[in-house]
Amino acid sequence: MGVTLKDVAEKAGVSIGTASMALNNSDKVNIETYKKVISVARKLHYVPNARARALVKQSTNIIGLVVPQIINPFFAELAQAVKDSARKKGYNLILCSTDGKADEEARYIEFFKSGMVDGAIFASQESLTNQNKIILEELIANYIPVVNINSQEFGSDLVPVIKIDLEKTSYLATRYLIELGHQRIGFGSHSLKRFEGYKRALSEFDLYNPEFVYFPMQDFDEDIYAIVASLMEVKVRPTAFVCYNDNSAIKMIQLLVEKGIRIPEDISICGTDNILLSRYYNPSLTTINIPKEAMGQKAIEILVRIIAGERVAKSELDITYPIELLKRKSTTTYQG
């Protein structure tokens, strides 16, 4: 059996209540007693019972973060920013991955009702299912505060949403490719918002051609092998391509190069996210910078304030961060 609070109290010659207050840095304990209790606790290697402490304090000092894929570099970098910001505020982080499945997301929502976390950040989907929206609102109304990152259409006064303009990401990338002289520009994504931006940019120049659009059955990143295979079979292929994210863009470049296609001389490639690898890949990837660190920091800042009982200003219920086109070596002027 491990060392208990009673053991610490007896060794320090104080009551259990005094030992508990000292370990919780209460100002009701004088400095000499505080030092003595802390010294004894360290010598005995005392570890507080987190569950018991949470029941007493009605707080766990833990925040839950829900993402669709830990393996996705974008969400890994976002999680790092959230973790670092949470630690500075005195909170630990539980990282939960849904694998992009609505039922897994629902399971975590139910799990958070148990009181294991003080609040949660959901960065799992661009949009929630109607059922998950209902149970998420129940979670917020009756259990814990929540902040959402990336949801485009949550539409609830209960949940602050921190996002970027997804339509603008593909619009900026497509406009840039048009400016480089490309007219046959491909697009691959399951996101309708991103598709709208791509189509809007091309339509402004009367260049939209549905033959160059690829709506994958599951996810562009998963179906990219089939998409690249189809690109190799068509007689007239795109001279440029706007990918769903940096991860899929890098994979597409690799597959095309393996088939003898030169990047960017034969096909220019654009991504979105500006993950760390995008600037070091060969060729370095033209992409849209999404301010992951700033978004993660803001999510923690708002959530911690709500946990402390503060009311969020109306202007903080829907925050849209600016994005930026980063021109690198995976794109070039059309040579045709």
Asked whether 224 and 248 are in contact (CB, 8 A), the reply is yes
Q: Does residue 158 form part of some domain?
A: yes
pTM listed for this prediction: 0.81
Distance between CA 267 and CA 229 in Å, rounded? 15
Do 81 and 220 belong together in one domain? no
Residues with Cβ within 8 Å of 87's Cβ and at least 6 positions away in sequence, in order, are: 93
Do 210 and 265 belong together in one domain? yes
Distance between CA 168 and CA 198 in Å, rounded? 8
Do 187 and 302 belong together in one domain? no
Residue 219 Cα to chain centre, angstroms: 17
Query: Domain span at residue 28?
Result: 5-48
Q: Does residue 100 form part of some domain?
A: yes
Do 253 and 189 belong together in one domain? yes
Number of domain units in the chain? 3
Within 58-165, residue ranges assigned H as helices are 73-88, 102-112, 130-142
pLDDT at position 51, please? 47
Do 318 and 176 belong together in one domain? no
Do 42 and 185 belong together in one domain? no
Q: Identify each DSSP E strand in the chain by its residue range.
A: 62-67, 92-97, 119-122, 146-149, 161-164, 185-188, 213-214, 240-242, 268-270, 287-289, 318-321, 324-326
Do 172 and 282 belong together in one domain? yes
Nearest to 170 by CA among 193, 149, 203: 193
Do 196 and 271 belong together in one domain? yes
Q: Does residue 56 form part of some domain?
A: no
Do 280 and 298 belong together in one domain? no
Residues with Cβ within 8 Å of 144's Cβ and at least 6 positions away in sequence, in order, are: 112, 117, 118, 119, 120
Q: Does residue 79 form part of some domain?
A: yes
pLDDT at position 309, please? 85
Q: Does residue 333 form part of some domain?
A: no
pLDDT at position 58, please? 65
pLDDT at position 155, please? 57
Q: Does residue 17 form part of some domain?
A: yes
Do 186 and 270 belong together in one domain? yes
CATH (domain of 71)? 3.40.50.2300
Residue 229 Cα to chain centre, angstroms: 31
Q: Which residue has the tokens 């691959």?
A: 188
pLDDT at position 56, please? 53
Please report, in tens digits, the pLDDT of each residue of the chain (336 residues total). Answer: 567 888 889 999 998 888 888 887 777 888 889 889 888 988 887 766 544 555 455 678 999 999 988 889 999 999 999 999 999 999 999 999 988 888 888 888 888 887 789 999 998 666 666 667 777 777 877 788 899 998 766 656 778 899 999 999 999 999 999 999 999 999 998 888 999 999 999 999 999 999 999 987 667 677 899 999 999 999 999 999 999 999 999 999 999 999 999 999 999 999 999 999 999 999 999 999 999 999 999 999 999 999 988 888 888 889 999 999 999 999 999 987
In this structure, what are the phi and psi dihedrals at residue 309, rounded to the nearest 5 degrees?
100, 5
Q: Does residue 332 form part of some domain?
A: no
Amino acid at 175: R
Do 179 and 276 belong together in one domain? yes
Q: Does residue 335 form part of some domain?
A: no
pLDDT at position 296, please? 96
Do 296 and 155 belong together in one domain? yes
